[in-house]
Amino acid sequence: MTHAVDIRGVSKVYGPAGAHTFALDRISLNVDKGEFVCLVGASGCGKTTLLNLVAGLDRPGAGEIEVQGRPALLFQEAALFPWLTAEKNIDLALRLRKVSKKERATRVDELLHTVRLDGFGDRRPHELSGGMRQRVALARALAQETQVLLMDEPFGALDAITRDLLHDEIERVWTETGVTVLFVTHNVREAVRLGDRVLVLSSRPGRVVAEFPINIARPRRLESPEVAAAASEVTDRLREEVRRHADDEDEA
Amino acid sequence: MPTTKTKPDPDVLDVELAGLDALDVPIAPAPSKARRIWAVAWPKLAAVGIFFLLWQSVVWVHWKPSYILPGPVPVLKELWHGVQSGALPKAAANTMQRAAIGYGIALLIGSTVGMAVARSKVLRTAIGSMITGLQTMPTIAWFPLAIVLFGLKESAILFVVILGAAPAIANGIITGVDHIPPVLLRAGRVLGARGLSTYRHVIIPACLPGYVAGLKQGWAFAWRSLLAGELLVIIAKKPSLGVRLELMHQQADYVAMVATMVTIFVIGVVVDSLFFARFERAIRGRWGLVDHAT
């Protein structure tokens, strides 16, 4: 398989027959191994639905999804277990993969170092900041030894400076581990800052309506003119998509 | 088509992350142990003091003659006497033993039924509301049936204690499971938790706050039912707090009667604060549900 993620003609319907709405309608996309692909779309484009399907949390109504290995999923809120310390959260991912106890201890330390949280292992989630929690979640996802990392607006709830640093951080982890990333966001700048490709999804039903390869050299900066120029192109396409729904208002 | 991967300057990023972390970490105040104990102790001592003062005031105004409503001093003297003679500890030991056995069985039944109902839609529809119904049923209403079924025996008391406590415990676990944030269940599934490991690593630890509230309430119900039982089901040659209470009443020894009441109250409070309140605090602290500002 050349693709890490291969989505072919996937549909997902919600609601009872007759009154149903398409969350996703025959959506097809693929992500190369080691590629960083960002999905952007307005509300109702089924971004989260799509990630749930790829993560295997839900089954598609039609179509096929092939994923290399079992993917890890990062949520908007870190979704750490509040009763476990940072260390134990990471450890649980290893435990559920039946890694031996001895190996786990070393691996947890390595992973904490990967996200630069050495020394914070014994903190509980409520004793960490939002950005730190998200990094623990990243370490926990990496503990799954996954080849595919799915991210559902992981930085959406963070303040600007933290988000900026975490962009560098996720980019570094991606470079070091060679993991494939499928990243969902509503923030176009963020998508252009991070992605090798940016895909624009339509809303109700969700489909890929445009694809923008981003050939800006890394490391990129959120503020650079190149990123801004590419972002405005993507935004224009997105706004066109939003205008298309101007008449829907009565239905909603 | 990945673009050329050039690393961002790693050292600068590390320093920046470390700086941000240092600024971000919430600072939890850690008062000294003595100060913490004092902060907990003085309101309690003050409350007890005020209570005794009010009680004594009622005695002082001679609302009732002092042989009917004794003041705190003779009652505390009687309490001390009862402890020294060994009669009160012996009665309390029997009562506590029943409490432990009854509560233990209620814990087992309540937890199992509660978890089953919480996780099964069919069971919930079938008996979910019945559990709440059982909980609202006054335990004293069960005694005629209990006595018919078991006779004037130990088992009649235990039966009612279990009926009193188990629904509260079951309801606690149901509430606990219902309040688990769905994202934690999804996180567990993504990490590969299935079947039993989901219970062990996600559902059981996640439902603890609600569960502990149920355990606490279950204890209150168990203790109340137990004392009602001991008043009604008097077993020969087996002293207990309930029997003692009834006996002193009949012998018109109102000082000893009130002393027994004080014992019942104190045991209920001590068990709660020693086990349940402590357990609850520990969990709230772990989850970060304690407001340090107050």
Choose, out of B21, B203, B279, the residue to mutate when testing the contact with A (most A CBs < 10 Å).
B21
B183–chain A nearest CA distance, Å: 6
Question: A162–B191: do the CB atoms touch at under 8 Å?
Answer: no
Question: A82–B24: do the CB atoms touch at under 8 Å?
Answer: no
Q: Confirm or reject contact between B197 and chain A (CB < 8 A).
A: yes
Q: Confirm or reject contact between B179 and chain A (CB < 8 A).
A: no
- Supply the DSSP string of chain B, one letter for each residue: -PPP-----HHHHHHHHHHHHHHHS-------HHHHHHHHHHHHHHHHHHHHHHHHHHHHTTSS-TTTS--HHHHHHHHHHHHHHTHHHHHHHHHHHHHHHHHHHHHHHHHHHHHHHHH-HHHHHHHHHHHHHHHHS-GGGGHHHHHHHH-SSHHHHHHHHHHHHHHHHHHHHHHHHHTS-HHHHHHHHHTT--THHHIIIIIHHHHHHHHHHHHHHHHHHHHHHHHHHHHHSPPTT---HHHHHHHHHHTT-HHHHHHHHHHHHHHHHHHIIIIIHHHHHHHHHHHT---TT-
Q: Which residues of A touch B190 (CB under 8 A)?
A: 55, 57, 72-73, 144
| Domain presence at residue B62 | no
Q: Confirm or reject contact between B9 and chain A (CB < 8 A).
A: yes
| Confidence band for B1, pLDDT divided at 50, 70 and 90 | very low
User: Rounded to the nearest 5 degrees, what angle is found at the Cα of B118, between the Cα atoms of B112 and B122?
Assistant: 105
| Confidence band for A15, pLDDT divided at 50, 70 and 90 | confident
Q: Confirm or reject contact between A116 and chain B (CB < 8 A).
A: yes
Q: Confirm or reject contact between A233 and chain B (CB < 8 A).
A: no
| Domain presence at residue B115 | yes
pLDDT greater than 80 at residue B10: no
| Domain presence at residue B206 | yes
Q: Confirm or reject contact between A197 and chain B (CB < 8 A).
A: yes
Question: A82–B187: do the CB atoms touch at under 8 Å?
Answer: no
**Alpha carbons B271 and B265: distance in angstroms, whole number:** 10
**DSSP bridge partners of A27:** A10
Q: What ipTM was assigned to the predicted interfaces of this complex?
A: 0.87
Q: Which residue in chain B has the smallest CA separation from A130?
A: B24
pLDDT one-digit tens code per residue, A164-206: 999 999 999 999 999 999 999 989 999 999 999 999 988 777 7
**Alpha carbons A154 and A163: distance in angstroms, whole number:** 9
- Closest Cα to residue B22, out of A86, A132, A80? A132
Closest residue to A127, CB basis, from B3, B26, B201: B26
Q: Confirm or reject contact between B26 and chain A (CB < 8 A).
A: yes
Q: Confirm or reject contact between A119 and chain B (CB < 8 A).
A: no
**Alpha carbons B94 and B172: distance in angstroms, whole number:** 28
The pLDDT of residue B5 is 47
pLDDT greater than 60 at residue A9: yes
Q: Which residues of B touch A123 (CB under 8 A)?
A: 25
Question: B186–A73: do the CB atoms touch at under 8 Å?
Answer: yes
pLDDT greater than 80 at residue B138: yes
Number of domains in chain B: 1
| Domain presence at residue B20 | no
**Alpha carbons A214 and A101: distance in angstroms, whole number:** 43
Segment A23-32 mean pLDDT: 88
pLDDT one-digit tens code per residue, B212-259: 999 999 999 999 999 999 998 888 788 999 999 999 999 999 999 999
Q: Confirm or reject contact between B200 and chain A (CB < 8 A).
A: no
| Domain presence at residue B61 | no
Question: A32–B1: do the CB atoms touch at under 8 Å?
Answer: yes
Q: Which residues of A touch B18 (CB under 8 A)?
A: 116
Q: Confirm or reject contact between A138 and chain B (CB < 8 A).
A: no
| Domain presence at residue B92 | yes
CATH number at residue B221: 1.10.3720.10
Top mean-pLDDT range of A242-251, B219-228, B273-282: B219-228
A89–chain B nearest CA distance, Å: 10
Q: Which residue in chain B has the smallest CA separation from A220?
A: B8
- Owning domain of residue B259: 69-286
| Domain presence at residue B120 | yes
Q: Confirm or reject contact between A88 and chain B (CB < 8 A).
A: no
| Confidence band for B294, pLDDT divided at 50, 70 and 90 | very low
pLDDT greater than 50 at residue B76: yes
Segment B67-86 mean pLDDT: 92
Closest residue to B20, CB basis, from A55, A82, A162: A162
Q: Which residues contact B242 (CB under 8 A, 6 or more apart)?
A: B95, B226, B227, B228, B229, B230, B231, B234
pLDDT one-digit tens code per residue, B148-186: 999 989 999 999 999 999 999 999 999 999 999 999 999
Q: Residue B219 phi/psi, 5° resolution?
A: -60, -45
| A14 vs A148: which has the higher pLDDT | A148
Q: Confirm or reject contact between A14 and chain B (CB < 8 A).
A: no
Percent of chain B with pLDDT over 90: 64
- Contact call for residues A6 and A35 (beta carbons, < 8 A): no
Question: A116–B14: do the CB atoms touch at under 8 Å?
Answer: yes
Q: Residue A160 phi/psi, 5° resolution?
A: -60, -45
pLDDT one-digit tens code per residue, A209-244: 899 999 999 889 999 999 999 999 999 998 988 888
- Contact call for residues A198 and A212 (beta carbons, < 8 A): yes
B114–chain A nearest CA distance, Å: 21
Segment B101-106 mean pLDDT: 97
Question: B21–A169: do the CB atoms touch at under 8 Å?
Answer: no
| Domain presence at residue B294 | no
